[in-house]
Amino acid sequence: NAGVTQTPKFRVLKTGQSMTLLCAQDMNHEYMYWYRQDPGMGLRLIHYSVGEGTTAKGEVPDGYNVSRLKKQNFLLGLESAAPSQTSVYFCASSYLLGNQPQHFGDGTRLSIL
């Protein structure tokens, strides 16, 4: 019972490089989310999706793009990585938007040098 799976688990990039983080869920959830977690700050929403083919901006969307081509997958892209994007990135999914719990993956630890 995998739940939410994130790949890769760790990555080191140089400033200016690009990469894509992959999130896959097997719970048939409509809603998917990308967060970043930084020391001393709560989880902050980057982008989210309310269904296949739809995406929306969260609290801190600048420097990131997302795509949801299939219901079970949600991709987070960094086109030109910056040191300020060093963080732990979490993907989550939920059955409904709002007062239904979100289920999280185990994160991608990303360092930008």
Partner 1 sequence: EDQVTQSPEALRLQEGESSSLNCSYTVSGLRGLFWYRQDPGKGPEFLFTLYSAGEEKEKERLKATLTKKESFLHITAPKPEDSATYLCAGVGDFGNEKLTFGTGTRLTIIP
Binding residues for partner 1 (CB under 8 A): 4, 40-45, 48, 58-59, 90, 92, 97-107
Q: Which segments of 2-105 are extended strands (E)?
A: 4-7, 10-13, 19-25, 31-37, 44-51, 54-57, 65-67, 73-78, 87-94, 103-104
What minimum distance in Å lies between the beta carbon of 95 and partner 1? 12
Nearer Cβ to partner 1 (9/70): 9
| Gyration radius of the chain over CA positions | 13
Whole-number minimum distance, CB 15 to partner 1, in Å?
25
- Residue 28 Cβ vs partner 1, minimum distance, rounded to whole Å: 17
Taking the least distance from each CB to partner 1, the nearer of 41 and 69 is 41
Kindly tell me which of 14 and 40 has the beta carbon lying closer to partner 1. Answer: 40
Residue closer to partner 1 by CB (options 1, 101) is 101
Cα separation of 103 and 37, whole Å? 15
Decide if 5 contacts 91 (C-beta within 8 A). no
Query: 21 to each of 52, 71, 94, 101, how far by Cα in Å?
Result: 17, 16, 19, 23
CB of 90 to partner 1, least distance (A): 5
